[in-house]
Structure 1
């Protein structure tokens, strides 16, 4: 054990108040977090910012892990699944030989209990499972659980698969799952909770875990810092093995520092310039597409992220999903930066320029100065807005940056009071359906002044709505691809948003002591933060050198 690890183990031991008589784990994997923790809450039903980090990453497990990059479903407590011919019944086979950490056997009855418990307490149904057509969940024997739906909804698989499963013999006695802190959790995961303080927490290897030989490490320790800079320093000094830390230049600021510094920053979504289609002239597809053509997304990405993020595809489909899902028509519909063509397209659409170069509306009056909504102090979005403002000025459109605190920023989007605004996609998942459904389905829109859940542009199109409904009704991959092609092509023609830059996860690794991290060559997870279920695969795969 090297000196750094000795110091770290000693520190963790003191902070965690582990008794001197306790045997110290040999291989301790250390995670650094720029955060401060609250109460000792390990309730898997609590929102992610309320329960402690190990809860949904290593203590509790789901039926499957669905990789958001490519849709690959990795078996966990489930071993196989199938849809009925009418896509109204989803049947899982559960794993044999699994025990809860208190020694009791896991079975399909625990799975059925978990979902029916969520039905009993709607406040913990954060995925809206029982509002999305789920009508019953029954265990037909110890290894089979059947989900029945009132109507076909195959994309719901992701939410069913990713739901954390709890033991019936424990949670059946808990009458208020919203306030329950679950200080002594009983799970099926690869680690068990050990100790906690405001500065650090630790889990130990589950000696009875169902995956023989795994995990390869004996313990995980999370340590808290007060800033990203402090967290980064711990990684550079070898005092931590992993951190989820956003920095502007991961290659220059981190990977170039030495051979043991690496990162995995996969693209999981995009940043967008949203157009408020409830307002003129943003209700005109020709205007929106021409404005989009005037924006230099390469310059936006370079100035906002110093090359760490690339310009987004005009479809909004992330790179890992493009080969499978983009239709042939997407190539010709790709928006290319061309100010001269954008200027001509605006004029052709009825938005001429006067002698002073000011763009006019169809009524012949100068267009007003439009606001670009961004979060106050969000330097990346502010930079994007500044580039866009300069770009649009060259085609005669005047804009100004509108910085707003979170409540008015999100309220402006959801209430439909903005002109244009920069935000991440309010939807996403293992295939483009989740992005387009949450972004453009009528269910997620609302009249101006009312709250739209996630259709921030307030764009709907009957062609898109019908194709999304047909997608939900089938489990045939070929049909789904054809339907999604219709959705993608229609949205790219109408341009209710302009995809600006890729949006990334921020995993940094110090590989001096461990190997087996996810990478671009082996993306076995999606670069999930350390408190999400995808991180479980990292904790299972890393090995001491």
Structure 2
């Protein structure tokens, strides 16, 4: 894709404004440099925080710019950033955010609530920037008064807070002069974050500590450097040799293949979601919940996980709720509905539901005719999904159901799911967030479904249920945690009973550390972020908390 590499007049103005701050930072001569290893090169010199993540450089939204809050997608914990508090009105149609005092942009100008209001109204002016669809999902006005910003909505929609919270804030005095923010490269960024941009090349990037950052004691490090490699093996070698301190690197055996090699090698791979076996409920026999539950009961997910990930990822909980959210969100009623691997019980359940076996042991449909071999859709060459499908095929054969593995390139793989032409398929959850609402809403809300042949945005199973829809709708209207838990309990138990998908294995984030030089990394015991990649809002917290030994 062609990108504009020419500095605009606005960018030149920004360069002049940031010269003093950048010179001050450069004069530090950093004593401590935190090194991040990347498995790919990055693109053009673009630090536009509105550009998609694969188009702007890695430090943009992790080190240079900031949001109002950080919402941990594992556990829903909210960390104040440029905001210090928020509250919904009684009717849950107005959100009021208190902004932080004493913050300056890295060009020396004062940050204010007006910058926040400008940012959100800028999204309205340039809809291409509004990638979360805030103005399409009920936001009607954003206004600043003093250190307060009010967000008005035409209907209650409290889960939208996550997207408001995570929006990167930009300075009005810079961006009000940018008339084409989609193509703006912003090579001299003016942010409030803990670092300022220093050097750029195709092989390495460096940011330096912002000497005027609003957190006076942090960051503890003077610089961050990103270095590029061409493979996971090369990145792993850099970590093992102490040439990098952190990398978002997926390997087959993080415990035996990395952590066991020395005391300074550590990993943080929290469960961020699940891989699912999707049933196409728009076609028989997958439109029968009894058939779906019996199929699920016949699959040994522990073996699926072991064969696909060699113990790095475990079997998923059959509710689809990730471990970090289970204690808070799983209702007591879910316990009796959990799927347990039991081929004999699955065989009996299929027969009871009207799917008998013939003399050859082949499963029959309710019409008495043998069921055809069902295709399991997977991505072409995706060894983990192919392995899962192979293990499941053997399990299903034992209860008289024959399958074929259907490997497809991405376009036809995603098209098969979204168009509803598949039988069975393996994919991740097309949704997720700090509470189970986000996953279940995107997976089962009617608005994300479509008739077969039309594109379903994320309801890949094409499953809808009035009970689920009503509870999801009600969830959006309340900010009362107790009410939200009760409503989500209804959603979870209904989905467990109907089993429109079957959670197979956990999905993980892949943070690897070399702790020889630094402490303060997030861990399972101190999960202050979700272990996401180095160019995310989560990474900012790591860059603030790591400190030299």
Output the TM-score relative to the length of structure 1.
0.96
In structure 1, the residue matched to 2:412 is 408
Equivalent residue, structure 2, for 1:490: 494
In 1, the alpha carbon distance for the partners of 2:180 and 2:287 equals: 47
| Deviation by residue 1:88-138 (Cα, 9 ceiling, x = unmatched) | 000000000000011110000000000000011111111111111111100
Q: How does 1:312-391 map to 2 (within 5 A)?
A: 312-391=316-395
Give the SS at the match of 2:198: strand
Q: Aligned ranges for residues 51-66 of structure 1 at < 5 Å?
A: 51-66=56-71
**Partners of 2:86 and 2:238 in 1: how far apart?**
43
Out of 440, 445, 451, which is 2:449 matched to? 445
Select between 160-169 and 21-30 the one with higher mean Cα deviation.
Answer: 21-30
1:137 aligns with 2:167: no
2:88 aligned residue (83, 87, 112): 83
Partner of 2:6: none
Name the residue aligned to 1:50: 55
Equivalent position of 1:227 in the other structure: 231
Name 1:251's counterpart in structure 2. Answer: 255
Mapped partners of 2:463, 2:290: distance in 1: 14
Partner residue of 1:117? 122
CA displacement 1:131-169 (0-9 Å, x = unmatched): 11111100022x110000000000000000000000011
What is the rounded CA distance, in whole Å, between the counterparts of 1:270 and 1:174 in structure 2? 41
User: Per-residue displacement from partner, 1:42-89 (whole Å, max 9, x unpaired)?
Assistant: 111111111111011011100000000100000000000000000000
Say yes or no: does 1:73 pair with 2:78.
yes
Aligned partner of 1:177 among 181, 200, 204: 181
| Secondary structure at 1:270 match in 2 | strand
Provide the rounded CA distance (Å) in 2 between the counterparts of 1:84 and 1:342. Answer: 50
Q: Could you report, residue by residue, the CA deviation over 1:167-192 in whole angstroms, capped at 9, with x for unpaired residues?
A: 01111111122111111111000000
Question: Shift of the alpha carbon at 1:23?
Answer: 6.0
Please give the alpha-carbon distance, in whole angstroms, between the structure 1 residues aligned to 2:151 and 2:265. 45
Q: In 1, Cα distance between the equivalents of 2:170 and 2:402?
A: 55
Q: Does 1:100 align with 2:105?
A: yes
Whole-angstrom distance in 2 between the partners of 1:122 and 1:510: 42
Q: Distance in 2 between matches of 1:454 and 1:432?
A: 15
Helix, strand or coil for the counterpart of 1:253?
A: coil
Corresponding residue for 1:8?
A: none
Q: 2:315 aligns with which of 311, 314, 334?
A: 311
Q: Tell me, yes or no, if structure 1 residue 293 matches structure 2 residue 293.
A: no
Q: Distance in 1 between matches of 2:55 and 2:397?
A: 45
**Is 2:398 the counterpart of 1:394?**
yes
Query: How many equivalent pairs are there?
Result: 525
User: What is the rounded CA distance, in whole Å, between the counterparts of 2:384 and 2:256 in structure 1?
Assistant: 18
Q: Kindly provide the CA deviation profile for residues 326-372 of structure 1, in whole angstroms up to 9, marking residues without a partner as x.
A: 01111100000000000110111111110001111111111111111
Residue 451 of structure 2: SS of its match in structure 1? coil
* Residues 130 and 23 of structure 1, relative CA distance in 2, 3 Å threshold: closer
CA-based RMSD: 1.0
SS of the counterpart of 1:86? coil
Q: Match of 2:328, SS?
A: helix
Aligned twin of 1:238: 242
Q: Distance in 2 between matches of 1:490 and 1:120?
A: 41
Summarize deviations over 1:221-257 as a string: whole Å, max 9, x none: 0000000100000000000000000011100000000
Q: Which residue of 2 aligns with 1:4?
A: none
Partner of 2:485: 481
**Shift of residue 25 of structure 1?**
1.1
Query: Which is worse superposed, 254-263 or 46-55?
Result: 46-55
Structure 1 unmatched runs, 5+? 1-17
Q: What's the secondary structure of 2:115's corresponding residue?
A: helix
Query: Separation in 2 of the partners of 1:179 and 1:452?
Result: 30
1:146 has 2:146 as partner: no
Question: What is the TM-score of this pair, normalised by structure 2?
Answer: 0.95
The Cα offsets for residues 257-297 of structure 1, whole Å up to 9 and x where unpaired, read as 00000000000100000001111110110110000000000
**Alpha-carbon distance in structure 1 between the residues aligned to 2:521 and 2:27:** 30
Once residues 41 and 365 of structure 1 are traced to their aligned partners in structure 2, the CA distance between those partners, rounded to angstroms, is 60
Using the TM superposition, give the Cα deviation of residue 22 of structure 1 relative to its aligned residue in structure 2, in angstroms: 6.5
Partner SS, residue 67 of structure 2:
coil
**Secondary structure at 2:255 match in 1:** helix
Aligned-partner SS, 2:308 = helix
The Cα of 1:24 is off from its aligned counterpart by: 3.3
Tell me, what secondary structure is at the counterpart of 1:56?
helix
Secondary structure of 1:537 counterpart? helix
Alignment deviations for residues 196-219 of structure 1 (CA, whole Å, 9 cap, x no partner): 100010000000000011000000
1:535 has 2:539 as partner: yes
Q: What CA distance in whole angstroms lies between the structure 1 residues aligned with 2:489 and 2:502?
A: 18
